[in-house]
Amino acid sequence: MTLLQELESRLAAALESVLGAPTPVTVTPAADLRFGDYQSNAAMVLAKQRKSNPRALAQEIIDALDLSGLATAEIAGPGFLNFRVLPEAYASRAAALIGDARLGVPQTGAGKTVVLDFSAPNVAKPMHVGHIRSTILGDSLARIARFVGFKVITDNHIGDWGTQFGMITWAWKTSLDEATLLSNPLQEMLRLYRHASDSAKADESIREACRLELVKLQSGDAENLAIWNRCLELSKVGLNQIYDRLDVSFDHWLGESAYNDALAPLVDRLVAENIARESDGAICVFSDGKTEDPTKDPFLVRNDGEWTDFPMIVRKSDGAFNYATTDIATLEFRRNEWHADFVWYVVDHRQSLHFQQLFAVADRIGLGAMDLKHVAFGTILGTDGKPLKTRSGDLPQLADVLDDAVAAARVAVAERSRVDTAEEKEELAELIGISAVKFTELAHHRLSDYVFDLEKMLALQGDTAPYLQNAYVRIRSIFRKLETPFDSSGVPIVLGSEQEIHLARLLVRFGEVLPTILEDFRPNLLANYLLELARAFHSFFEACPVLKAEEPVRSSRLALCEIAALTLKQGLGLLGIKVPEKM
Ligand code: ARG
């Protein structure tokens, strides 16, 4: 049980004895440590229901409350219950973290299967910086979900069957540069794509030619299929280079094309079951009229003050299926084959209507048992406050963004690093550059836009990855000074100073913070927690001598250092960020 749960259960017992019936309660971490560690508004909520005086009820609860060995309580303001945890309670809980590989984190996901749909770039189009957010966020959520015990299946649902293939195929047949294709396939495919898309914009007949190439591909033409296959293979090699750099991997790569054969029967079934119907030659899903509040009905939009249909098209009038159809088929597969309890889609917020419609369709076709979430995110901005662009106005390529970050890290490493060889320096620059990009992403609320500012991201002082990595390295260097290796097993924790208590408080809180991240998919809670922990460590280290202290304080402080290092390493690891041993 975490401290918070322990407080809740003792409070629940007190409430039951005061009110004579079991009553649910919640305890939350206090917003401000000056008032205590935790608080509850139970007395206020209950007094309101029973029309009694909240402070008097709070006093009754406190009189009945057994907090021995755990905390003290007091009443504040209109009837808040504030709890201050006893130093000895922190000490014994910190001691319990020694040798605990889970660092006090409960298995809240045990027995449940979640499919994580993230990254999912469109093949033969470049993976751009928008995909960076999905990739980094999704990977971190996968790591966290695994750590709290979920069975996690990661699936890269790449866009490998879209209209871009008509364009690529046309350009491939008319202007392929074989040499570049061999030396830099992603660059050549990008060139082909841009060439075709520019030409199609300028010339109606080329647009038609591209469309015909797509029709040929979709009807199984051997030559076009061979080109498509080649593009797919080359793209995967290029994508994997980026994923390797980011230390991201997937259990499956079931792209859109994997569901081609399922689409026609699916649409027939939707029609047969009256879920979809024909409209202007297309097959569409309309509102079922069961949602009372039209603002909550994803199949309606407001036009000139009137609610009008906004259907989900599952087969276009030319017979082609689309993104939405594929997503329905994918969802059925994930339920039937993988027995998913949850599916989390880490996709740009601009697709939110698509997912609302998809989830509504899922309910109607009997997939309602699955808990589906669109984990949406905002935009990355340049230092000018506008969406990040290259000098030529294009969306920047992900690989270039990573290169820029590593180049900036190289400069920082040359200036301030303590590693010796050129090889070590290069390795460190790669690690720090990538970590800085990841941490900046994960330290922001996913829905907010943020500015991509390399200088800030790499600062040693600030809310950055290097700051956290440096805290870790600093702790490790304490242990390198020891003549005999430190064995923490069974070491009693003694907490004397405020700084020691605060460090222990944060170490113990790791197990409380982690499960809350998945309530609203917010790795920034973990990022912020780690920053707080690193700050607590630095204040502790300034105020409390470690190696020069007398026993038993010395061993206790060393043990706190050890747990702090492990927590930083584990916490950063769950953000997909590695720690160096020296920097
Ligand atoms: N390929 C899409 C894009 O780049 C994202 C796919 C997300 N996943 C999904 N199941 N729809 O916009």
Q: What is the mean pLDDT of residues 294-320?
A: 94
Per-residue pLDDT tens digits for 492-509: 999 999 999 999 999 999
Q: Please compute Rg for the chain using Cα positions.
A: 28
pLDDT band at 456 (very low <50, low <70, confident <90, very high): confident
121 lines ligand 1 (CB under 6 A): yes
Secondary structure of 181-205 in HEC code, one letter for each residue: HHHCHHHHHHHHHHHHHHHHHHCHH
Residue 348 Cα, ligand 1 centroid: separation in angstroms? 9
- Asked if residue 428 is part of any domain, the answer here is no
Of 63, 85, 107, the residue at which a domain comes to its end is 85
Residue 184: pLDDT band (50, 70, 90) is: confident
Mutual angle of helices 129-147 and 523-543, in 10-degree steps? 70
Parent domain of 196? 163-254
pLDDT at res. 31: 86
pLDDT at residue 154 greater than cutoff 90:
yes
CB of 117 closer than 6 A to ligand 1?
yes
Helix (H, G, I), strand (E, B) or coil at 109: coil
Q: Is the pLDDT of residue 1 over 90?
A: no
- pLDDT (0 to 100) of residue 473: 96
Report the amino acid identity of residue 573: G
Per-residue pLDDT at 307: 93
Query: Does ligand 1 lie within 6 Å of residue 328's CB atom?
Result: no
Q: Which of 234, 254, 274 is the last residue of a domain?
A: 254
pTM of the model: 0.94
The response to whether residue 130 sits with its C-beta less than 6 Å from ligand 1 reads: no
Indicate the average pLDDT of the chain.
94
CA of 103 to the centre of ligand 1 (A): 35
Provide the CATH number for the domain around residue 62: 3.30.1360.70
SS3 416: helix
- Helix, coil or strand: residue 397: strand
Q: Which atom of ligand 1 is nearest to the CA of 354?
A: 11
pLDDT at res. 400: 87
Split into its structural domains, the chain has a count of 2
Name the domain boundary from 59, 85, 111: 85
Residue 397, domain member (yes or no): no
pLDDT digits (tens, 9 = 90+) for 337-385: 999 999 999 999 999 999 999 999 999 999 999 999 999 999 989 888 8
Query: Is 340 within a domain?
Result: no
Q: Which residues contact 124 (CB under 8 A, 6 or more apart)?
A: 164, 165, 168, 189, 193, 231, 232, 235
pLDDT of residue 306: 93
Among 45-59, 138-152, 307-321, 371-385, which range has the highest average pLDDT? Answer: 138-152
pLDDT digits (tens, 9 = 90+) for 96-133: 999 999 999 999 999 999 999 999 999 877 677 778 99
- Determine if ligand 1 sits within 6 Å of the CB of residue 377: no
| pLDDT on residue 417 | 86
CA of 236 to the centre of ligand 1 (A): 16
Alpha-carbon distance of 336 to 113, in angstroms, equals 12
Q: What is the pLDDT of residue 502?
A: 97
- Cβ of 255 below 6 Å from ligand 1: no
Q: Tell whether ligand 1 has an atom less than 6 A from the beta carbon of residue 157.
A: yes
Residue 48 located in a structural domain: yes
Residue 486 domain flag: no
Q: Given a cut of 90, is residue 391 above it in pLDDT?
A: no
State in Å, rounded, how far the first CA of the chain is from the last one.
37
List the residue whose alpha carbon is closest to atom 3 of ligand 1: 121
In 10 A of CB 66, how many CB atoms?
A: 10
Mutate to test the pocket of ligand 1, among 129, 154, 331, 351 (most ligand atoms within 8 A of CB): 351
SS3 letters across 313-333: EEECCCCCCCHHHHHHHHHHH
141 within 8 A of 518, measured Cβ to Cβ: yes
214 located within any domain = yes
Q: What's the pLDDT tens digit per position in 255-272?
A: 999 999 999 999 999 999
Residue-by-residue DSSP string for 542-581: HHS-STTSPTTHHHHHHHHHHHHHHHHHHHHHHTT----S
Residue 28 falls within a domain, yes or no?
yes
Compute the CA torsion angle 193, 195, 197, 201 (nearest 10 deg): 180
Query: What pLDDT digit, counting tens, does each position of 507-556 carry?
Result: 999 999 999 999 999 999 999 999 999 999 999 999 999 999 999 999 99
- The reply to whether 411 falls in a domain is no
